[in-house]
Amino acid sequence: MAATKVVVALGGNALQRKGSPATAEAQLAVVKKTVEFIAEMSCIGYELAIVHGNGPQIGNLLIGAEAAAHLVPPMPFDVCIAMSQGYIGYHIQHSLRHALIKRGLNIPVVTIITQVVVDKHDTAFKTPTKPIGPFYTKEEAEQLRKEKGYEMREDANRGWRRVVASPVPQRIVELSCLRELWDTTIVITAGGGGIPVVEKEDGSFEGIAAVIDKDLVAGKLAENIGADILLILTEVDKVSLHYNLPNQQELACMTVHKAEKYITEGHFAPGSMLPKIQAATMFVKNNPEKKAIITSLYKSMDALKGQDGTTIKI
């Protein structure tokens, strides 16, 4: 019997804890705990690929670049995303390899610096929605808006964050490499949603300033690779209606029809839960025999068994 293929989308909270220092050491400590769950999935026999977010990390890289601009020329946005792919991928790669070896599994783990094609005319460039960097108070957000010209927006009643353009992913450039590696290797790919590039007339690519939503890319990857499950890991155990309000209602399962209805009713925050629901419904809609699961890292094993999380099916 063929192994179940799972594309795992790791949220930023699986890489950096809210309130903890943004040092490499602190982030590595979080990653070491995170990969224990991934290693357990591999132990059970799931075949895996990992896509990770980089919202807090890319924000911190940009803040550091701005602060040191008088000493070192700031790197372009796309280069900063590549940098975040490299160091986050490295943290996951060597931590997961160690966790697998502890379990007696000699499975290679590699990181692919991944480009994702977007449309330079995407309307997202006119309406930024993707949160990056730390949370701010309303007063701090207003000051950043005035001083730096940042677009600031409240993120699901949790605080204010900088938002940037988040165009729709069109194509994963390095997909053929992942297909070649799939049967033998756990691949960390499309980190931070991938490096956004536009395709030129001669077939080459050029980076563009944006952050692609990692959940949408994970859904596209799951479809392209023929995955059985799209597993989106985030801060909450289940998807909720009326999130963070007194009448919050957790959902154990959703049909695609129900999910689309809830989207129309505005239940999910743009740049936060909304793209997760969109990625899940799109994957299931295009692959009716497959399913998507949205849950927390800590409930991931139970969710794969159908005992927790929110499952999206036809």
220 is catalytic: no
13 is catalytic: yes
Catalytic residue among 11, 53, 130, 271: 130
Give the CA distances from residue 119 to residues 80, 205, 207, 272, 283, in Å, rounded to whole numbers and listed in that order: 20, 12, 11, 22, 21
Give the whole-angstrom CA distance, residue 9 versus residue 215: 6
Catalytic residue among 55, 89, 193, 214: 214
Q: For residue 230, what are the β-bridge partners?
A: 7, 292
Residue 95 CB contacts under 8 Å (≥ 6 apart), including other chains: 28, 31, 32, 34, 35
Residue 61 CB contacts under 8 Å (≥ 6 apart), including other chains: 80, 83, 84
Give 145-154's long-range contacts (Cβ < 8 A, gap of 24+): 148/66, 153/129, 153/271
238 is catalytic: no
Catalytic residue among 276, 290, 291, 299: 276
Give the whole-angstrom CA distance, residue 111 versus residue 113: 6
Would you say how long the chain is, in residues? Answer: 314
Indicate if the alpha-carbon torsion angle 198, 61, 274, 301 is positive or negative.
positive
Could you tell me if 18 and 30 are in contact, meaning their C-beta atoms sit under 8 angstroms apart? no
214 is catalytic: yes
Selection from 89, 112, 90, 224 nearest residue 177 by Cα: 112
- Residues noted as catalytic: 12-13, 130, 214, 276
